[in-house]
Structure 1
Amino acid sequence: MAEPVNRQNRRQRAVPAPSAGLTGALEAIGTGAYVVDEEGCIIAVNARTERLLARSADDLLGHDAHDLLHRGPQGQLLPRTQCTMRQAFHARRAAQADQDHFARGDGSLLPISWTLAPYDVDGDGGDSATLVVFHPVEPPVETVPEPEPAAEPMPELERLALLAETTTRLTSTLDAEETLRRLVELVVPRLGDWAVVDLISEHDEVWRTVVAHAEDGSLSRREDLQGPMPPVPESSAMPLSRALRGVASTLADQQTYRQPPDAGIAVEQRRLFDATGMHSAAIAPIRSTRDVLGALTVGRSENPVPFTPTDLPLIEDIARRAGLALDNARLYQRQRKIAETMQNHLLPQMPSVTDLEMTVRYLPAPHASQVGGDWYDAFSLSDGSTALAVGDVVGHDLEAAAGMAQVRNMLRAYAWSQQEPPSRIVERLDEAIQHITDVSMATVVLARLEPEEQGHWRLSWTNAGHPPPLLISRDGLTQYLTAGHGILLGTGARTARPDADLSLPPGSTLVLYTDGLIEDRGHTLDTGLNRLRQHAAALAHRPLGAFTDQLLRRVRPAGNDDDVALLALRTPNR
């Protein structure tokens, strides 16, 4: 039975506005393109789609693409069971058709060809979506048949789909190795049997980073052909030298490097052609917006069809996108390196205290800049006692790290110069940070530790809005030190802060930590505290270093997106 005629008027479903990254990726496609979600509703379109279909984005977004657009040759509604695009969409596989029809907003019919492929919207394998790229086709015209050329260039629709996929895949990672792996998968075996990437280091040294080959349906690396390369001569006209200087893209064949070499890099290219059996190659510069980063070589050995000049623009476009992705990855890695160096200088070395074991750990936020506002500290005071501190300045970036350094240094100065209880020192700190720092909010535990008789240690502390320290006896009994708790720093409230004190028995372990150790998205804070208590008790018999490492491994949530600072100490057995 035919489907109801009013199916196209089905109520439009509200969809979130497409992200800037998704919109930008579609706009880079030079023909009509749109993305549908797992239910077949349109969630993003490019401007070319609006023009081709004579429909605005508001008229397209949220509609079922099949009901709104798909028609038969006479403009009739197309049953879903007869729609090739719909079948491929449900099967989550790539497909294409040379002749189909879309309904335009003005009531006319648009003959099209289309390509459909699964599409990863977020670049992390999460949301399921499908990319549709379509191209208007003219009615066939009777012409005198011409001889087929030896090599047909890639159809425009396939070329645009490949460039769209290249943009999406290469821009969704900031890891240089992953970028190169994805680049190779994009061009081999689709464009050639071999992919070679030569990169220029920051010291202007050339390194043959990738030599990959399509073999039995998978990619294999020829590590024997990878490694350092001779320098690039300034005047060489050889294809690779020109590409590495950013001059131009060039074709090469086996005869190109048979002539007497003009430099050592030409000798390496001859070795590459001999070892791989490539008879034809296209070589293009890999450029960033500022510099030449290297060169991409796509070669053919098993494929008998040689590259032609019409293939070069596609290789150039892919290499240009690879250059932008690699430049972003390098900038990110450089920032991480700077951040790591800064963090190493910010976090202090622990003092040596007689008869007291002490260890610290810092784990950065996995998706931030490798530094943050979490910190620990321990230092000797003028009266011979030891100060312990752990705190958290809001944020995990370079600004938070700078604020953390200010708070830590001020706390050190007050604790050293003022012979007062921890509560009074933290009160002074709270008053100061609001006037002489950019820190908006912070939490801290400040403790004072001094030896008593018979192997006991006296701990006095105050807590400004921080998770409570955990005390574990040598027999595995646990106790959260919830006394001495007050409000966090930076609120502007002028309230007296409490102190608490406790005698630490011989062989006990004290753990001071930041909330990244116990907070788990989707679970209560009590769940994290109970998990910490349980594992700390089970590990109480371990040496302090092993205790700390195992505690971090077992307790820190797998999806944690915050940094963690931890300070653990153990009193001697008597």
Structure 2
Amino acid sequence: MTTSTGDRPPPPDLTEAQLGLALEAAQLGLWDWDVVTGRLVWSERSLEMFGVPLEQRTGSVTDIEAPIHPDDLPAVQGALEQAVATAGVVDVEFRTVWPDGSVHWVHARGRALVDGAGHVWRVIGTNDDVTALRAAEQERARDAARMAGLVGVAQALGDAQDELEVLQVVAERGVRLMGADGAVLGLLADDGRRVRALTSGQLAEDVRAEVAEMPVGVPVPLVVTAVTGEAVFFGDRAALAERYPGAVELYERARTQASATVPLLARGRVVGALGVAFRGPRTWRPADRELLETFAALTAQAVERIRAREAERAATRAGQRLSEMLQRSLLTDPPEPNDLRIAVRYQPATREAQVGGDWYDAFLSSGGTTLVIGDVAGHDRTATAGMAQVRNVLRGVAQTVGEPPGAVLGALDRALQQLRVPTLTTAVICQLDGPGPGGGRLLRWSNAGHPPPLVLHPDGTTELLWRRPDLLLGVDPAAGRADHELVLEPGATLVLYTDGLVERRGESLDDAFERLRLAAAGLHDLPTEQVCDVLLGRLGSDAEDDVALLVLRP
């Protein structure tokens, strides 16, 4: 059957239609520059990205000059000139300024076309609006900079000697960090019946006087948060009015629109609240909440330290208990073979909540007994989590590979890279064979940037097993790993430890290891448990870092 098309125009080219759909889906704009005539053809999408009204377009390549940011124009012109000169490509990112003053980001890609004589006669390409992408990147960078700024705030809070100095840090550095217009500290009285408010100078005097001291029943966010520990975030006064209608008049006098109040927590107990105020509305992003809550945690530590020395000591003990709890959950008891005596210790850092990445391990494998001592960089829960990952992967690798220590460390390093465990770790892994004909045992070990093992010989002499250490784990998984050997004679004692046992500020490593050697002198006859206790007593009492210790005697 034949169907007459009459006077209908021919169907559009399929390839052109497909290209149009692809460009629309990708939200790309087209441009076509005739190098010979200087004529520039734009698609509607490209015109939108440059903010150029259709009636203002002249058709010349100079149309791009006005909307491109003056600081970026030389780079764009250079990219086009380079493409023409080399018959190459265009790949440049730049800002455009629209008539309303708003700034947008455009990523232009293109390619030069040549004629039969090899001369460039056209450059064609696409424009991609990457404004949202750049805004997100800038927002992440600002968030990272603000979190980094907490380091200075933490130091300033640590230097504060009284509550007014804490308020000064909050009102100056904290307000600036948050981009707020004012701040208030609400401190819960010891009797739990009143909240005392320390306010910054940005608030009006009558407002400061009214909130200076409030009973716990007053229905305002600062008091409620200081009592209940509930954090609240309001984008404007209308949001506040939905929950705290009685506080609206106070916030009006304080010229506050957006606000937030988060608890000050010390050892799991609410000691007050931190509030910030903004004169305009705002949207509270998760990053903003995390920043304010972290700032409040630092402030709470400073307040608690100042309010009572006993509370500070209690906080230190709580931090140590946390470290010990994590240590007990992550560090298992060593095996108890009949022919070996193994003792282990873990001592957390003296500073509050300084949970570190130090660990020890001992387990039976096909080749005998495997001993491990290691230290993941860092002093926080991230380091502890990294330590748990490294420890568990090492156990699996050691049981599976069945190779000497150097091969085990190499396999571990590669496995950590493949599993995306981003840690820097020092470690020593030892393998101890069964007794030989003379009763001695062959000790094999490999060292990944860790302090050297110490041997206490039966005659009372001490020996640091100095060998050139290999790279830390997490630096180069392809790095070679060396094995070392030593026969442990009957009655010899092997001591593995982390750097917290010996390193001190202002002291050279040579002096630190000499202190270790002298502290270990005369301990060769003591049981392994006592060797651990004496070494910690002599060296660990002033340790600033956490300490892991493993002592073995065949």
Question: What TM-score range do you get, normalising by the shorter chain?
Answer: 0.3 to 0.5
The TM-score with structure 2 as length reference comes to 0.47
